[in-house]
Amino acid sequence: MTTNFSLPKTLRRSGSLPSSRTVRIVILGQAAVGKTALAVRFITKRFIGEYDPTLETIYRHEMVIGGDVVHFEILDTAGQEEDALLIEEKIKWGDGFLIVYSVTDRCSFDEVMRLCFLVNHIHTAGARRSNVEPPPMLIVANKKDLEFDRMVSTEDGENLSRGLKLPFHEVSARDGWEETAGVFQALYSDIVQQLDSSPPSFRRRAVSKLMEKIPRIHSNSALGGTGRSFSFSSFRDFLPD
Ligand SMILES: Nc1nc2c(ncn2[C@@H]2O[C@H](COP(=O)(O)OP(=O)(O)OP(=O)(O)O)[C@@H](O)[C@H]2O)c(=O)[nH]1
């Protein structure tokens, strides 16, 4: 699958050879808000109704964006994180963050602010420079198709987004690919802009032993390699050719 996202002019390449870059996205949010559904929707274009509660996974997926080959590494975190050190490792690993809540779950909405502050704190606290920018983050309200079960209004989401000065997207992973892809596209644009304009606050590229232990699922290869190393047969069945 070689989907070509359209990009803002400043991020488009013209004439030169395609380059290749890796971006690491961490999806955070309470249990059952749809983190896996969003990641799998983006990668496979399908909505798969039921998953096992997340065993933490890194999805690897290549796409051509604006003429460049982009290697996405998407960490789908478990909704329940017991150990503060473990979550810190995962947050340090990421270039950008999707903070997800479900519009049907008020508690998951209330958790968003804490997660945003946590990411902000972890990425800026240890920095040598004082003017380090927080990493790109985006608030995602999922399950907007469940209008009858809604507990969080669009206005609540927009107010939170204004308060935290973060972009906000209300989507349904169930209802379509474009919206979900738009979320990843927006975050990708922000990550690229930040990586190109300022050095990361610390060595985000370092991979700790913990991160190496998280299972990886490789969806495809935009470059035509075999690239298939899915270890869960339930996902293999849904991959596009
Ligand atoms: N109606 C509807 N259901 C959704 C949507 N997104 C996810 N779901 C359902 O919500 C449930 C939880 O989705 P998951 O993707 O497993 O949620 P998660 O955040 O990864 O959950 P954990 O792995 O437990 O942290 C599943 O039954 C999904 O089918 C959506 O946009 N609309």
172 lines ligand 1 (CB under 6 A): yes
Say if 83 falls within a structural domain. yes
Structural domains counted in the chain: 1
H or E segment and range at residue 230: none
143 lines ligand 1 (CB under 6 A): yes
**Ligand 1 atom 30, closest CA:** 143
Determine whether the shortest distance from the Cβ of 79 to ligand 1 is under 6 A: yes
Q: What is the number of H-type helices and E-type strands within the chain?
A: 7, 8
Atom of ligand 1 at shortest range from CA of 54: 23
Confidence of residue 204 (pLDDT cuts 50, 70, 90): low
Burial class (CB in 10 A: 0-12, 13-18, 19+), 16: exposed
Task: Return the residue matching tokens 């987004």.
Answer: 161
Looking up residue 175, the CATH number of its domain turns out to be 3.40.50.300
Q: How far apart are CA 203 and CA 237, in angstroms?
A: 37
Q: How confident is the model over 18-50, as pLDDT tens digits?
A: 578 899 999 999 999 999 999 999 999 888 777
Burial class for 235, CB neighbours closer than 10 Å (0-12, 13-18, 19+): buried
Does any domain span residue 214?
A: yes
**Domain assignment present for 10:** no
Contact predicate 102/150, CB 8 Å: no
Whether 33 lines ligand 1, by a CB cut-off of 6 Å, is yes
Provide the domain limits for residue 130.
Answer: 18-238
The pTM (predicted TM-score) of the whole model is 0.84
Say what the ipTM of the complex is: 0.99
Q: Which of 174, 178, 234 to mutate to test the pocket of ligand 1 (most atoms within 8 A of CB)?
A: 174
11, part of any domain:
no
